[in-house]
């Protein structure tokens, strides 16, 4: 039937509608989809099917097409982005899935309107937003010239601004340039499939710009973003794993910032794990250990979900559950630089604190750090500023903050990790050791440039070590509780009951809601 001829009967019109809908669902055609399947890569619609509860997807904009050039109308089913609403574990979410088989899922006037609608609806109605990223950037030649720029770009003044009213999650599932990269950077949680690329522009364009060949993995591969930039939270091997990671992330999150995170059943045997802590913690404070083992002894069994495990390794951050309720864990990691916080570790913790405060997640800090990494490299990376970003974010948090000093807590890091009044309550283990700096280093500082015998140094060192034990904090009430390691889980559960925001029903004031996502 000719496109110019309008059917007269309702039945004919409905038949035409079904034909157009069926054509739109074919995306870029069977051949393109088959090639992706042969490569083990899902398409835009199969990703949505795997992400959402069965048969829960309600699509918006199925018949949208590119309207800039008439010849593109028949070549742009759904205009390269599949968008709509559905359920994950019976909770509503908004989702935008890039269809790379249609003009590389490039951004155009119609599909940007679709994204804007999903984003506004999810924000206004209070449910999470998910971006399944794989796109080539802006569509050419639609965006070229002053008319193209004026028509395509900047028509939504809030396109890339957010105040964290609802959680955002993003998956980097192919080459992500332009808007798909931007939304990945804006998300609270980003997972990346190995082989995918996240960058401002394509390797080809980057090669032209700098006059030498740029390899995709060097420009924006998973190792770069998981180990160097810290812009992705988890790395997986397949699309299916990436979608499962998003579902898991959302299981810890409230639907919006006006409610508390969902409760979960407590796995049997969770209370017994805490008894293993004493065996994990070394007798010597100079020996390292994997703090994740301590965390897993404290939280509900199998509930710890780590963020950025390859980045900022001096700190460990992640979501877990205590007695079924969600908490954010920030812990020093003695296996990396003896737990001394570096610039990457500060950035990692700061961003995590922002997310927790924005979505009403109490914070538990497990402390064992000799301070901050010092030296020329740190100063070049603006270490003082990063330390103060961390400090400011912590002090602005309005959710409950509990700090447990396990071993060392020295200098400014004592404050950054919740010491003083920077937590609502501070507990210490009998193994805790608190001072301005390590007594050995302090001795070297005060004897710098002088001829001092080893016996004199030992006398000074002994004096420096005076009153650095847990008793010093407990006696002046700088620590509110002294807790045996095996009792830490029970202490935290009870303390959270005390510190929960009763008057506001667990809802914080979200002072960090518009904090930049990268800084």
Residues 100, 133: one domain? yes
Is residue 518 in some structural domain? no
Is residue 2 in some structural domain? no
Residue 227 to residue 221: CA distance in whole angstroms: 10
Residues 207, 293: one domain? no
* Segment-wise mean pLDDT, segments of 10 residues, the chain, 519 residues: 69 91 91 91 96 97 84 85 97 96 85 92 97 84 68 69 94 92 94 95 76 85 96 97 98 97 96 94 88 98 98 98 98 94 96 97 97 88 93 96 96 95 96 82 72 80 77 93 97 94 85 84
* Residue burial 496-513, b: 16+ Cβ < 10 Å; e: rest: beebbbeeeebbbebebb
Residue 30 to residue 22: CA distance in whole angstroms: 13
Is residue 512 in some structural domain? no
Residue 361 to residue 374: CA distance in whole angstroms: 31
Residues 232, 374: one domain? no
Report the share of the chain in percent with pLDDT over 70: 94
Q: Count of domains in the chain? A: 3
Residue 295 to residue 371: CA distance in whole angstroms: 21
Check residue 286 and give its pLDDT: 80
Q: Which residues pair with 402 in a beta bridge?
A: 364, 425
Terminal Cα distance for the chain, rounded:
56
Residues 449, 478: one domain? no
Residue whose tokens read 């157009």: 20
Is residue 180 in some structural domain? yes
> Contact 281/274 with Cβ under 8 angstroms?
no
Residues 296, 245: one domain? no
Residues 395, 442: one domain? no
Is residue 517 in some structural domain? no
Residues 193, 298: one domain? no
CATH of residue 113's domain is: 3.90.226.10
Residues 462, 414: one domain? no
CA-based nearest residue to 51, from 124, 129, 122: 129
Q: What is the DSSP string of 206-271?
A: HHHHHTS---HHHHH-HHIIIIIS---SEEESSHHHHHHHHHHHHHHS-SSTTSPPPP-PPPTTGG
Q: Which residues pair with 403 in a beta bridge?
A: 365, 426
Is residue 261 in some structural domain? no
The model's pLDDT over 426-451, given as tens digits with 9 standing for 90+, comes to 999 999 999 877 777 667 767 777 77
Is residue 263 in some structural domain? no
Is residue 507 in some structural domain? no
Residues 274, 195: one domain? no
Check residue 455 and give its pLDDT: 83
> Contact 262/319 with Cβ under 8 angstroms?
no
> Contact 175/197 with Cβ under 8 angstroms?
yes
Backbone φ, ψ for residue 132 (5° rounding):
-105, 100
Residues 124, 242: one domain? yes
Burial class (CB in 10 A: 0-12, 13-18, 19+), 487: middle
Residues 359, 404: one domain? yes
CA-based nearest residue to 27, from 15, 39, 36: 36
User: Which of 218, 252, 286 is the last residue before a domain boundary?
Assistant: 252
- Full residue range of the structural domain in which residue 158 is found: 10-252
The model's pLDDT over 60-72, given as tens digits with 9 standing for 90+, comes to 999 988 877 777 7
Check residue 469 and give its pLDDT: 87
Residues 181, 297: one domain? no
């Amino acid at each position: 039937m000719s496109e110019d001829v309008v059917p007269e009967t309702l039945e004919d019109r409905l038949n035409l509608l079904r034909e157009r809908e069926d054509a739109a669902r074919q995306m870029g055609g069977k051949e393109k989809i088959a090639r992706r399947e042969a490569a083990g890569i899902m398409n835009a619609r199969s990703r949505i099917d795997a992400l959402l509860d069965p048969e829960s997807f309600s699509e918006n904009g199925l018949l949208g097409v590119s309207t800039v050039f008439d010849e593109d109308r028949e070549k742009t089913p759904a205009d390269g982005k599949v968008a709509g609403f559905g359920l994950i574990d019976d909770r509503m979410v908004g989702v935008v899935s890039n269809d790379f088989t249609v003009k590389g899922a490039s951004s155009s006037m119609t599909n940007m309107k679709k994204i804007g609608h999903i984003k506004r609806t999810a924000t206004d109605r209070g449910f999470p937003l998910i971006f399944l990223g794989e796109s080539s950037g802006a569509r050419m030649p639609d965006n070229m010239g002053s008319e193209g720029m004026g028509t395509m770009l900047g028509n939504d003044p809030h396109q890339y601004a957010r105040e964290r009213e609802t959680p955002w999650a993003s998956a980097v599932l192919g080459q992500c340039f332009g808007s798909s990269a931007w939304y990945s950077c804006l998300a609270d949680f980003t997972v990346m499939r190995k082989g995918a690329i996240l960058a401002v522009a394509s390797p080809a364009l980057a090669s032209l710009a700098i006059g030498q060949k740029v390899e995709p993995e060097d420009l924006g591969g998973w190792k770069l973003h998981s180990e160097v930039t810290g812009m992705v939270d988890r790395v997986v091997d397949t699309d299916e794993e990436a979608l499962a990671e998003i579902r898991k992330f959302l299981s810890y999150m409230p639907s919006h910032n006006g409610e508390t995170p969902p409760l979960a059943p407590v796995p049997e045997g969770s209370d017994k794990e805490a008894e293993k802590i004493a065996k994990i913690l070394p007798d010597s404070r100079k020996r390292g250990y994997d703090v994740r083992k301590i965390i897993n002894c404290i939280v509900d069994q199998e509930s710890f979900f780590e963020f950025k495990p390859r980045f900022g390794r001096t700190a460990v951050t992640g979501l877990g559950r205590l007695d079924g309720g969600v908490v954010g864990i920030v812990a020093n990691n003695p296996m990396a630089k003896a737990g001394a916080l570096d610039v990457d570790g500060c950035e990692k913790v700061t961003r995590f604190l922002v997310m927790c405060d924005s979505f009403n997640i109490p914070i538990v800090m497990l402390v064992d750090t000799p301070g901050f990494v010092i030296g020329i490299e740190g100063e070049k990376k603006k270490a003082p500023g990063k330390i103060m970003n961390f400090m400011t974010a912590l002090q602005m948090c309005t959710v409950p903050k509990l700090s447990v000093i396990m071993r060392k807590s020295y200098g400014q890091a004592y404050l950054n990790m919740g010491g003083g009044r920077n937590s609502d309550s501070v507990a210490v283990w009998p193994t805790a050791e608190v001072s301005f700096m390590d007594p050995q280093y302090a001795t070297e500082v005060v004897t710098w440039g002088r001829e001092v015998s080893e016996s004199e140094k030992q006398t000074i060192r002994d004096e420096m070590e005076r009153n650095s034990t847990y008793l010093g904090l407990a006696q002046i009430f700088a620590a509110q509780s002294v807790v045996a390691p095996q009792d830490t889980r029970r202490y935290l559960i009870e303390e959270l009951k005390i510190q929960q925001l009763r008057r506001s029903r667990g809802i914080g004031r979200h002072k960090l809601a518009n904090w930049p996502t990268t800084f």
